[in-house]
Amino acid sequence: MFTTRIIDSKEKERYNQFVANHPKGHFLQLWEWGQVKKGMGWDPLPLILEEDGRIRAAMLILKRRIPLPFIKKCIFYSPRGPVLDINDRQLGRLLFDGARRVAGDEGAIFLKFDPDIPKENVEWVEVLQSLGCRHNETGLDFEGVQPNFVFRLDIRPDESVLLANMHAKWRYNIRLAEKKGVVIREAVDKKDLQVFYQILLDTASRDHFLVRGYEYFEWMWDYLVETGYARIFLADYQGQVIAGTLALILGEKAWYLYGASSNEYRNVMPNYLIQWEMIRWARQNGCTLYDFRGVSGDLNEDNPLYGLYRFKKGFSGVFTEFIGEWDMVYSRFFDFLWTRVLPLYLRLGRRRARSVQGDG
């Protein structure tokens, strides 16, 4: 007999074990990731589908209230969900039916999700379309909630093979960093976290991108680093930290999530060595796949993001496009308000705020 239900913290380990062992499991579906997002204003709702007491599918749903006055509605988002064998269409239907019932209880207008499924897997697309889901066009860069294009590396071969498969300049830069005395180590406490965050701020200022507040990284430390799902790696050179990264691990997969480098000593190539050490760490922990995460789908060399693509490509990963972002709409009327009215309401609010500031 199949049942769907939202679980509480008493079943956290059971839930995480299912996600970790499932081929479609992802760190963004972990119980702990829900706790990180809770600090950002999302309410986590871990949904499971059971058959005779055994978990068969799962979906971490994140709930957020719509910021419109007098409207008690919310949106659902499941990052890289669901954790599901789509070949069993019955499981898919039952899991999404369960999500619909929860949406009715919570007042959700839609469920957004972006499965960790390569684009060539047309069966997933057919199933989602048969369930009435709507595909969203998110562009070639980073317009979606999650990156739609990534580089992935099969790390089952020996280290010597992985090095041989890299671009020659990448091997040279790894050896150069070692020769110059760059040492890669794992962060051990929140003092190291603060150092990493400062370098991240320096990188954001130099490369013109936004970075979340320090408390967000504290939550990741508390819920992911302390529980063994994440590591921060630091590159030491001549007594100071000159680069840092944050990586996550779950089951047989590892992900490179954040990277930062100092404005100084970039010539000793710490970013190449730190990636290699993360790959080695992932292999030592039984991983078979290393995910470099997002790149642009626009491969034109004139694209400002091309350098990111080139850096990750040099490690000999496979360029992967996912099936993209999908919505299961529960209320067409409120979906219209969300997509058309809310953006206008927020723009008017910003204009009023600027007007008040100008009057001062």
Quick: pLDDT tens for 246-272. Answer: 999 999 999 999 999 998 999 999 999
What whole-number percentage of the chain has pLDDT above 90?
76
Residue at a domain's end among 287, 320, 341: 287
Say whether both 96 and 205 belong to one domain: no
Q: What is the pLDDT of residue 350?
A: 53
The average confidence (pLDDT) of the chain is 91
**134 in a structural domain:** no
Say whether both 68 and 179 belong to one domain: no
Distance CA 41, CA 301 (A): 38
Axis-axis angle for helices 122-130, 89-106 (nearest 10): 50
Cβ atoms of 257 and 216 closer than 8 Å: no
* b/e 43-76 (16+ beta carbons within 10 angstroms → b): ebbbbbbbeeeebbbbbbbbbeebeeeebebbbb
Mean pLDDT of 46-57: 97
Q: What is the pLDDT of residue 25?
A: 97
Cβ atoms of 94 and 4 closer than 8 Å: yes
Cβ atoms of 82 and 328 closer than 8 Å: no
**28 in a structural domain:** yes
**173 in a structural domain:** yes
Say whether both 160 and 256 belong to one domain: yes
292 exposure class (CB count in 10 Å sphere: 0-12, 13-18, 19+): buried
Q: Which residue segment(s) compose the domain that 260 sits in?
A: 156-287
The CATH number of residue 341's host domain is 3.40.630.30
287 exposure class (CB count in 10 Å sphere: 0-12, 13-18, 19+): buried
Higher pLDDT, 294 or 292: 292
What are the Cα distances from residue 115, in Å, to 79, 221, 320, 326? 7, 25, 13, 9
Q: Which residue has the tokens 């996550």?
A: 248
Q: What is the pLDDT of residue 344?
A: 58
DSSP one-letter code for 340? I
Q: Which residue has the tokens 């589908």?
A: 49
Q: What is the pLDDT of residue 354?
A: 45
Distance CA 201, CA 214 (A): 10
Residues in CB range of 330: below 8 A, 6 or more apart:
100, 103, 104, 108, 109, 110, 111
What are the Cα distances from residue 167, in Å, to 174, 243, 317? 11, 22, 11
Residues in CB range of 284: below 8 A, 6 or more apart:
none
Give how far the C-alpha of residue 157 lies from the chain's centroid of Cα atoms, to the nearest Å.
25
Q: What is the pLDDT of residue 358?
A: 43
337 confidence band (pLDDT: 50, 70, 90): confident
Distance CA 118, CA 271 (A): 28
355 confidence band (pLDDT: 50, 70, 90): very low
Q: What is the pLDDT of residue 316?
A: 96
Cβ atoms of 27 and 254 closer than 8 Å: no
Q: What is the pLDDT of residue 200?
A: 96
Least reliable range by pLDDT among 39-48, 135-144, 189-198, 295-304: 135-144
- Split into its structural domains, the chain has a count of 2
Q: What is the pLDDT of residue 266?
A: 92
Per-residue pLDDT reduced to its tens digit, 196-228? 999 999 999 998 888 999 999 999 999 999 999
**133 in a structural domain:** no
**85 in a structural domain:** yes
For residue 349, pLDDT over 80 is answered with no
H/E stretch holding 235: strand 230-237
Cis peptide before 304 (omega within 30 of 0): no
Of the candidates 300, 319, 303, 334, the residue with the CA atom closest to the CA atom of residue 104: 334
Say whether both 95 and 7 belong to one domain: yes
Cβ atoms of 15 and 38 closer than 8 Å: no
Q: What is the pLDDT of residue 86?
A: 78
Say whether both 265 and 171 belong to one domain: yes
Per-residue pLDDT reduced to its tens digit, 190-199? 999 999 999 9
Residue length of the chain: 360
Cβ atoms of 83 and 18 closer than 8 Å: yes
Q: What is the pLDDT of residue 341?
A: 60
What are the Cα distances from residue 330, in Å, to 66, 110, 128? 14, 5, 15
Say whether both 109 and 180 belong to one domain: no
Cβ atoms of 63 and 76 closer than 8 Å: yes
**298 in a structural domain:** no
For residue 296, pLDDT over 80 is answered with yes
**354 in a structural domain:** yes
Q: What is the pLDDT of residue 342?
A: 59
| pTM of the shown model | 0.91
Residue at a domain's end among 271, 287, 303: 287
Higher pLDDT, 99 or 89: 99
Distance CA 315, CA 210 (A): 26
Q: What is the pLDDT of residue 140?
A: 74
Say whether both 161 and 265 belong to one domain: yes
Residue at a domain's end among 231, 252, 287: 287
Say whether both 58 and 168 belong to one domain: no
Least reliable range by pLDDT among 187-196, 304-313, 332-341: 332-341
Higher pLDDT, 202 or 334: 202
Say whether both 275 and 161 belong to one domain: yes
**15 in a structural domain:** yes
Say whether both 77 and 174 belong to one domain: no
Higher pLDDT, 143 or 104: 104
Say whether both 78 and 163 belong to one domain: no
Say whether both 260 and 343 belong to one domain: no
